[in-house]
Homo-oligomer: A and B are copies of this chain.
Amino acid sequence: MADPTFFDNAGPKRLDELAAFLSAGLFRASPDQHVYDVAPLSHAGPDHLSYFEGRRHLPALLASKAGAVLVSETDAGEVPPEMAQIVTKSPALAFARVVGLFYPDATGFAAPCAGFAVHPTARLAEGVELEHGAVVAAGARIGARTRIGAHAVIGRGVAIGNDCIIGAGASLGCALLGDRVIVHPGVRIGQDGFGFAQGPTGHVKIPQIGRVIIQDDVEIGANSTIDRGALIDTVIGEGTKIDNAVHIGHNCRIGRGCILTAQVGMSGSVTLGDYVVLGGKVGVADHVEIGPKAMVAARSGVTRNLPGGAIYGGFPAKPVAEWRREVAALARLARSKGRAGEGGV
């Protein structure tokens, strides 16, 4: 499922060879059955290997069109009959290892330009302005009148639209940008997301083979970081404005016209509807969804889904009136007791 612009697929791989590599059992495979790629259950087709771990993904397993699946012995009975099975103790760990087989070069991102700053295969439209030291790697495409700041690095295959401004020292990899995008200095786009499987001797890196999609008129503040997706894409919607030092984890899907104030942090796989506003330093836990036009007060921590069209605050974030009542109630309580703090900080 990885975009070949950014990642070279070392497949196909025979299922029996994969099973042997994993020291795992293979069931229901046709003779000589191959898979051509890896994919999550929801996106996989007959040529793809996927994995199942965690009962909450059962509906996805049952609906999946994957040709083969990594599964534990316990869960093997749940696998649809037409799917080949590789049975292994830790499917997530095994999947991480198989992704590494298919995409051995997917760690970090490359801007191979030794000997020149702009690779001969890069395409620059009319009016592109490159400041001193700008690096444009193989296959990258830069739209008309876009300005690439001094020492900015545009990785392999990255596409940038028209009238964009890329700040000094920024780095972009595995990314597609629309028009009129402003990326301020020091922004980091498209590095590996933070994903590990638990192995017998420590954390095993899950290669990250998704992309970053940045739509038109997005602005991204200085030193912010946007990781590329693990298997799917990280997406920033049209017209969204992101302040300095914001962190956006892998697989996040940010709607259109959102405002993310400085030092906001989004864990992986967060979904924001359109026109969401997050105040400074807000943190959002992984897989949380925040509905359109929701506003979250500065310093809140969002741990559960929040419906759109309302204002929230506190930690865990709740409707702002509730949070204010809590703040007031605690202040009253402390005054009424009036004793010096034994639990002091």
* Chain A interface residues toward B at CB < 8 A: 107-117, 129-133, 135, 137, 147, 149-151, 153, 155, 165, 167-169, 171, 173, 182, 184-186, 188, 191-192, 194, 196, 202-203, 205, 217, 219, 221-223, 225, 227, 239, 241, 243-245, 247, 249, 256-257, 259, 261-263, 265, 267, 280-281, 283, 285, 297-299, 301, 303, 313, 315-316, 318, 321-335, 337-345
Is there contact, CB below 8 Å, between A315 and B345? yes
Chain B residues with Cβ below 8 Å from A147 are: 108, 110
A-B contact pairs, 16 of them (CB 8 A): A109-B168, A112-B129, A113-B131, A113-B150, A133-B135, A150-B153, A153-B185, A185-B188, A186-B223, A243-B247, A244-B249, A281-B281, A324-B344, A326-B334, A326-B341, A328-B340
Please pick, from B186, B203, B298, the residue contacting A301 in the complex, using a CB distance under 8 A. Answer: B298
Closest-by-CB residue of B relative to A281 is B283
Using known A-B contacts A153-B150, A316-B327, determine if residue A203 contacts B297 with beta carbons closer than 8 Å.
no
Number of copies of chain A assembled together = 3
- In the bound complex, residues from chain B placing their C-beta under 8 Å from that of A334 are 322, 325-326, 328-329
Given A326-B331, A341-B327, A345-B323, does the pair A205, B219 have CB atoms closer than 8 Å?
yes
B202 touches A239 (CB 8 A): yes
Contact partners of A245 in chain B: CB under 8 A:
223, 225, 245, 247, 265
**A230 CA / B18 CA spacing, docked (Å):** 50
Q: Judging by beta carbons under 8 Å apart, are A222 and B343 in contact?
A: no
Query: CA of A180 to CA of B128 in the docked complex: distance in angstroms?
Result: 37
CB of B108 within 8 A of CB of A133, answer no
**Contact indicator A185/B171 (Cβ below 8 Å):** yes
State which of B110, B297, B339 has its C-beta within 8 Å of the C-beta of A345: B297
A2 CB, min distance to chain B CBs, angstroms? 18
Among residues of B, the one whose C-beta sits closest to the C-beta of A184 is: B191
